[in-house]
Every structure is written in C-alpha cells, then in structure tokens.
Amino acid sequence: MERICDFLNKDQLMPTTSTGYRFTLQGDTYGLVQGELQIADPGPHEVLIKVHAASLNYRDLIHWRNKAGRPMEGVIPCSDGAGEVVAVGSKVTRIVPGSLVAGSFFQEWVNGPFEMKYHQQALGGSANGMLAQHVLLNEQGVVKIPAYLNGIEASTLPCAAVTAWAGLVERGGLHTGQTVLVLGTGGVSIFALQLAKAHGAKVIVTSSHDDKLVHAKELGADETVNYKTHPDWDKVVWELTHKQGVDHVVEVGGPGTLAKSLGSVKASGSVALIGVLTGFGPMGDSLFPLVAKNASIHGIYVGSREYFERMARFMEQHQMHPIIDKVFDFDHAQKAFEYQESGQHFGKVVIKM
Ligand SMILES: NC(=O)c1ccc[n+]([C@@H]2O[C@H](COP(=O)([O-])OP(=O)(O)OC[C@H]3O[C@@H](n4cnc5c(N)ncnc54)[C@H](OP(=O)(O)O)[C@@H]3O)[C@@H](O)[C@H]2O)c1
C-alpha cells in the first residue's frame, strides 16, 4: 500500500502533519475514523497532492458497509479526489507543481486493454484512496484537469464520469442521433445524461422520484419515466422509441433491472453492464434477448487514464460541468456517506477538505 504523507516544499513554511480517514471495523461494518498520516518525501516518480475534495460513489458505500467481500481495515476510502500538486519527485516529467490533478481510478491502467493486474492498485479499494488532506500518487496515476473546472468539480470525475464515458463512448461508440437510456439519477447516470446530450443523442431517464425527473428534463433529458409508478418501464421505453428500443442502455441496476434493460435495447444495440444497485445476484437467466436482437453487452469497470484524458478534453470542448448535489465539510465525512446511502442525491456528493 502506498505511503500517504504531508511532505511539502521545504523552502516554504508548511505543516508537517496531515489528516485522513481510514476504515476501521466496528462490529459488522466499518467506521470512518479520522487520524494523523505518516510523513514521507515523494519518491522519484511520485507527486504529492494537497487534496481539495473527494467525491462519493456507490462503491464507497459497499466498502463502508463491509459488503465488498474483502477486508478494508485501515484503507483510506474514496477512489475519487482532486487537488493541487504541491511537490514532485526528482524524476517526474508529466506534472509540475501547481497543477490541478485528479487521481486515476486504476493507478496502473494508463492505456490499452484492461488487464487483471490493474485491480491491485485501485484507489479507495486495493490501494489507499483520496479521503485525506494529502495523498502521494505515481505521476502515471494522475490526470491534469482543464482550467475551467475547480477542485470540487474535478473530484467527481475519476469513477462515475469515466465509467459513463467508457460505456457510452469508448466501448459503445455513441454518436449523434442515437438514443440512450439511463437508469436512475445517481452519479454515473447523470454523467451519462450529460455526455449523451453533448454527443447529440436523445436521452430517456428513469427515476423513482418525479422531482428528479423534472431536474433531468432541465438538464436536457428528452423523455422521463418513473420506474416506481411504472414498474414495466421497459414497455414505456419501447413505446417512447416507437417500438424500436434504445441504442444504448447505461445498466447500473444489475439483477433487478437487467431483463428490462435487455427488453429496452434496440436490435444491434449496446448495453453497458455497470452496476449492482439491486444487488449481486445472478444475472444470467435473461440474456437470450441479446441473441435475438444481435445486441452487445459490455462489461465496464471504470476506464484507463487515457479514457479519462479523452473525456476531460471532450468536457472542456463542451464546457460541461459536473452536477453536484451537496458538498460536505471534511469533518462531516460520515454525514456525506449517510446522505449518499439515503439515495436522496441527484448527481454527485462531495466532501471538501
Ligand atoms: N463498473 C463500474 O466501473 C462502476 C463504476 C461506477 C459505479 N458502478 C456501479 O453503478 C451503480 C451506480 O453507481 P453510482 O455511484 O452512480 O450510484 P449512486 O450515485 O449512489 O446512485 C444511486 C441512485 O441509483 C438509482 N437507483 C437505485 N436503485 C435503482 C433501480 N432499481 N433502478 C433504477 N435506478 C435505481 C436511484 O436513483 P433515483 O433516486 O432517481 O431513483 C438512486 O438515487 C452502482 O451499483 C455502482 O456500484 C460501477
């Protein structure tokens, strides 16, 4: 596990200690315990980041509630965070001090196809995450953030936004005039809505809350469906698409929604299989519609640093700003986790340092 430190430019008068949260087992679940972090100098290829903000993903709740199926004791939570580089190692060439950067979810997946070894360095999981005042990352594991975004906005990008981008653009080949279905109004789904609209696609959004559907319309959603009052939402989607189905489904629900997502996809369409909001149960019973429709399903696990960089360029071109629901203070991190768990949010929940 990498070092987390508070090493700062020795010419400046800087604090020598830093704080961060760690998961600490409390009964069956983890607590979020704030404490002092070790001080270390950046290694030759490392950059020290003064974190401005971290953002939450459903995955952080899985870890917090001890449902990941592996121990998280002592791990610094959160894959997602961004901040200013305040010191760099002697051989760093990609990044200069003063840059605003975000961590890349899989620290070692820079480009090319995914390899299983990349799981060994996933921020906020197999490696320490971003819920700390300072973090030390390899220069290859950070992405420079375009100047039009601030640290709070940048903190929302590494997991949810890159996942939506991977599913729709890198793997799905989204293009103008296509139709996209996004399930719910959480982090991944709202980024998918924004990215799809910026590509000139038509977007259908589902939600359990009518007020969230109104908000989705304000962001450009063309059609909306309340999946609580319309449990057969796939049939509604079918009618909305003149019995053709959608070109892309951003499938964040898992076992409880997959059959209806397959019912909603068009012939030759694409399903980005992303999430587990309805649990981790078997998903295999209902795959035949893919055959009948000559449709594709893509397993998506976030993306490479290059995906992130391409997405950041696209966002800058379109001046796209992340949709942030609430920002919590660092000392109230647990409140942020509780709020995310309540499902009241629309878009992203952020913790600022
Ligand atoms: N594979 C990957 O790389 C990857 C990356 C990121 C996330 N994920 C997964 O994707 C899922 C979403 O993550 P997130 O961080 O975006 O979550 P999130 O922000 O916590 O999203 C929560 C929202 O999902 C919606 N939702 C819950 N149950 C639903 C259902 N049965 N049908 C439709 N919508 C439902 C609700 O929206 P409404 O309130 O509008 O109903 C809820 O507010 C999670 O399972 C997460 O683990 C996977």
Supply the pLDDT for residue 3. 45
**CA 253 / ligand 1 centre spacing (Å):** 6
CA atoms within 13 A on the CB side of 315: 28
Query: Is the model's pLDDT at 66 over the cut of 90?
Result: yes
Average the pLDDT over 152-172 and give the result: 98
Q: Is 188 in the pocket of ligand 1 (CB under 6 A)?
A: yes
Average the pLDDT over 253-257 and give the result: 94
Q: Is 227 in the pocket of ligand 1 (CB under 6 A)?
A: yes
Q: Which of 194, 187, 150, 196 is nearest to 277 (CA)?
A: 187
Query: Is the model's pLDDT at 5 over the cut of 70?
Result: no
Residue nearest to atom 10 of ligand 1 (CA): 275
Average the pLDDT over 170-199 and give the result: 98
Q: Is 322 in the pocket of ligand 1 (CB under 6 A)?
A: no
Question: Residue 60 to residues 71, 147, 225, 277: CA-CA distances in angstroms?
Answer: 13, 28, 28, 13
Residue nearest to atom 9 of ligand 1 (CA): 275
**CA 275 / ligand 1 centre spacing (Å):** 7
**CA 138 / ligand 1 centre spacing (Å):** 30
Q: Is 353 in the pocket of ligand 1 (CB under 6 A)?
A: no
Q: Is 258 in the pocket of ligand 1 (CB under 6 A)?
A: no
Span 87-144, pLDDT tens digits = 999 999 999 999 999 999 999 999 999 999 999 999 999 999 999 999 999 999 999 9
Supply the pLDDT for residue 281. 82
**CA 274 / ligand 1 centre spacing (Å):** 9
Supply the pLDDT for residue 12. 42
**CA 239 / ligand 1 centre spacing (Å):** 24
Tokens 């149960």 correspond to: 281
Q: Which atom of ligand 1 is nearest to the CA of 341?
A: 20
Least confident of 55-64, 285-294, 305-314, 331-340: 285-294
| Ligand 1 pocket, mutate which of 114, 118, 165, 188 (most atoms under 8 A from CB) | 188
Residue nearest to atom 37 of ligand 1 (CA): 184
Supply the pLDDT for residue 39. 61
Q: Which atom of ligand 1 is nearest to the CA of 208?
A: 41
Instruction: Name the residue type at position 83.
Output: G
CA distance 239 to 245: 8
Query: Is the model's pLDDT at 1 over the cut of 90?
Result: no
Query: Is the model's pLDDT at 328 over the cut of 80?
Result: yes
Q: Which two tokens stand for residue 149?
A: 């975004």
Task: Write the CB contacts of 152 (distance below 8 Å, at least 6 apart in sequence).
Answer: 52, 53, 324, 327, 350, 352
Q: Is 303 in the pocket of ligand 1 (CB under 6 A)?
A: no
Burial of 334 (0-12, 13-18, 19+ CB in 10 A): middle
Which helix (H) or strand (E) segment holds residue 251: the answer is strand 246-251
% of the chain with per-residue pLDDT over 70 = 95
Whether the predicted model's global pTM rises above the 0.85 cut: yes
Q: Which two tokens stand for residue 268?
A: 């030759």
Average the pLDDT over 76-85 and give the result: 98
Query: Is the model's pLDDT at 331 over the cut of 90?
Result: yes
Query: Is the model's pLDDT at 64 over the cut of 90?
Result: yes
Average the pLDDT over 62-91 and give the result: 96
Supply the pLDDT for residue 7. 37
Supply the pLDDT for residue 13. 38
| Ligand 1 pocket, mutate which of 252, 274, 324 (most atoms under 8 A from CB) | 252
Query: Is the model's pLDDT at 284 over the cut of 80?
Result: no
Supply the pLDDT for residue 16. 64
Query: Is the model's pLDDT at 219 over the cut of 50?
Result: yes
Q: What is the DSSP letter of 201?
A: -
Task: Write the CB contacts of 49 (distance below 8 Å, at least 6 apart in sequence).
Answer: 81, 83, 84, 85, 86, 101, 103, 134, 135, 136, 137, 142
Supply the pLDDT for residue 282. 80
Which helix (H) or strand (E) segment holds residue 298: the answer is strand 296-299
Angle between helices 305-317 and 187-198 (to 10 degrees): 60
Quickly state the pLDDT bin for 11 (edges 50, 70, 90): very low
Q: Which atom of ligand 1 is nearest to the CA of 213?
A: 40
Span 15-43, pLDDT tens digits = 467 899 999 999 999 999 999 997 688 99
H helices present in 241-322, as ranges: 258-264, 288-292, 305-317
Q: How many helices (H) and strands (E) does the chain have?
A: 10, 15
Average pLDDT across the chain, whole number: 94
Q: What is the sign of the dihedral through the CA atoms of 143, 326, 186 and 233? A: negative
Question: Residue 144 to residues 83, 85, 278, 296: CA-CA distances in angstroms?
Answer: 10, 10, 34, 33
SS3 state of residue 192: helix
% of the chain with per-residue pLDDT over 90 = 91
Q: Is 125 in the pocket of ligand 1 (CB under 6 A)?
A: no
SS3 state of residue 282: coil
* Phi, psi angle pair for 213, to nearest 5°: -70, -35
Q: Is 279 in the pocket of ligand 1 (CB under 6 A)?
A: no
Q: Is 301 in the pocket of ligand 1 (CB under 6 A)?
A: yes
Q: Which atom of ligand 1 is nearest to the CA of 345?
A: 43
